[in-house]
Amino acid sequence: MTEPDDLLPEGLEDRLPDEARRITHAMRAALGVLDAHGYDRVLPPLIEFEKSLAGRMAKGPDEAQPRRMFRFVDPASLRTLALRSDITPQIGRIAATGMANAPRPLRLAYSGDTAVIRADQLDPARGRVQLGAELIGADTVEAAAEVVTLAIEAVAAAGVTGISVDFTLPDLVDTLADNAMPLPEEARKAVRRELDTKDAGGLKDAGGEAYLPLLFATGPFADAVEKLRAIDAGGALATRIAGLEQVAARIGDAARITLDPTERHGFEYQSWFGFTLYAENVRGAAGRGGTYCIAGSEEPATGFSLFLDTIASAVPDPERADTLYLPTGHDREAARRLRAIGWRTVAQIGEGEDPQALGCTHRLDGKDTVAL
């Protein structure tokens, strides 16, 4: 029955029942955590004007957000629309428009499908389920602490274990270059890039020799933060280091903490604080977040996104309810009562069915359940 036309485009796939159940389960558990902490879910549309989606990304001074979105012309407005590749800018737009008058801090949650026109090198998927939370109106240490601990709790609720979080300082180079480790404006971009790729030779060539020790201020948090403090002779980083320590204290033993202060990839539009979540059996990052400024409204915000399908692939199968086969002519009221107490039922609709092949563990006999 399979014909070539039935195949899906590269990087797009069906989630069949087992995988769909894991994703649904992880999504509800994570959304439940966000709701319990006062984050209200919003549902932005799949498509928007390209300009509103693109204009709210790419806050970095020199990084251009690659054109990752599927785009098409709207016959109604004759303007270019795009399919969302990231829900975060939509939340920023909602905060700046429909919820501009809601009291701050504003806590919003989201979960939904996204698509990118081109996969990145590390991940062939072009369709992803993104889930996240945004704390709008604050990018303080307290906001960072709430958001990181929330992200860890959400990932744990989704069912993964062995969680670790890697801190970074996205505006590190600018902060140092403005203070104790001066760099001409034109050299900053190259220094940031070489630090990000951890290329010591390239860093020297770019005129960033003074920044070399930063490459070694990485690893387990307590140790790396001491190295960072030693580099920070002028004290330009003192408040950032103190902030990281407060956030780390709040995490406690909920996750292993590491520091990689020069990591920039994926943090192009974050301000002083960024973090990446990892977990056992999750390939690549489980999520990412940090402090930033909403483009357009310029309101400070702190948030995170989880890659829900990646996470769900590392989660054990959720427990399945016992499934009861209901033969033709069964007692419908008995079946209804059993469903109400958690049974799943499969009703016979024809001759020659094999209840076990249909996933049934029991059959209804009169008012009784009998194991198959």
| Range 343-362, binding a second copy (CB under 8 A) | 343-347, 349-350, 353-354, 357-359
CA atoms within a 13 Å half-sphere pointing along the CA-CB vector of 34 = 30
Spatial separation of the C-alpha atoms in residues 278 and 164, rounded to whole Å: 5
Find the binding residues for a second copy in span 158-197 (CB under 8 A): none
In the bound state with a second copy, the residue whose beta carbon lies nearer, of 118 and 265, is: 118
Helix (H) or strand (E) holding 57: none
Q: Which is nearer to a second copy, 64 or 78 (CB)?
A: 78
- 303 membership: H or E segment, kind and range: strand 300-307
Distance, in Å, from the CA atom of 197 to the CA atom of 264, rounded to the nearest integer, reads 9
* Whole-Å CA distances, 330 to 338, 343, 366, 370: 13, 15, 7, 13
140 contacts a second copy (rule: CB under 8 A): yes
Amino acid at 368: D
55 binds a second copy (CB under 8 A): yes
C-alpha–C-alpha distance, residues 57 and 88, integer Å: 9
Cβ(156)–Cβ(278) below 8 Å:
no
| Residue 88 assigned as binding residue | yes
Q: Which is nearer to a second copy, 168 or 345 (CB)?
A: 345
At 5, list the tokens.
């036309």
Placement of tokens 């389960």 in the chain = 25
Binding to a second copy (CB under 8 A) within 22-41 occurs at 23-24, 28, 35-38, 40-41
In the complex, the smallest distance separating the C-beta of residue 351 from a second copy, rounded to whole angstroms, is: 11
Report the candidate in 181, 180, 150 with the shortest Cα–Cα distance to residue 163.
Answer: 150
Cβ-based nearer residue to a second copy, 349 or 371: 349
Residue closer to a second copy (CB basis): 66 or 220: 66
86 among the known binding-site residues?
A: yes
- Shorter beta-carbon distance to a second copy: residue 127 or 266: 127
Where in 93-122 is the site for a second copy (CB under 8 A)? Answer: 93-94, 96-100, 103, 105, 107-108, 112-113, 115, 117-118
- In the bound state with a second copy, the residue whose beta carbon lies nearer, of 184 and 350, is 350
Which amino acid, one-letter code, is at 31? L
Distance of closest approach, residue 259 Cβ to a second copy, in angstroms: 23
Q: Is 328 annotated as a binding residue?
A: no
Least gap, CB of 257 to a second copy (angstroms): 18
Contact 7, 306 (CB under 8 A): no
CB atoms within 10 A of CB 155: 30
Binding string, residues 287-316; x marks residues near a second copy by CB under 8 A = ---------xx-------------------
Q: Is 17 in the site for a second copy (CB under 8 A)?
A: yes
How far apart (Å, rounded) are the C-alpha atoms in residues 146 and 339? 40
Q: State yes or no: 87 annotated in a binding site.
A: yes
Helix axes 238-251, 141-158, angle to 10 degrees: 30
Q: Which of 70, 157, 174, 180 binds a second copy (CB under 8 A)?
A: 70
- What is the number of other CB atoms lying within 10 angstroms of the CB of residue 324? 24
Query: At its nearest, how many Å lie between a second copy and the CB of residue 53?
Result: 10
Instruction: Note whether 127 binds a second copy by CB under 8 A.
Output: yes
Give which of 256, 285, 249 is closest to 164, Cα–Cα: 256
Select from 9-17, 225-233, 260-268, 277-285 the region that touches a second copy (CB under 8 A): 9-17
Task: Based on the shown chain and the rule CB under 8 A, indicate whether residue 370 belongs to the binding site for a second copy.
Answer: no
Cis peptide before 316 (omega within 30 of 0): no
Consult the annotation and say whether 118 binds a ligand.
yes
Binding-site residue positions for L-histidine: 86-88, 118, 130, 134
Binding-site residue positions: 86-88, 118, 130, 134
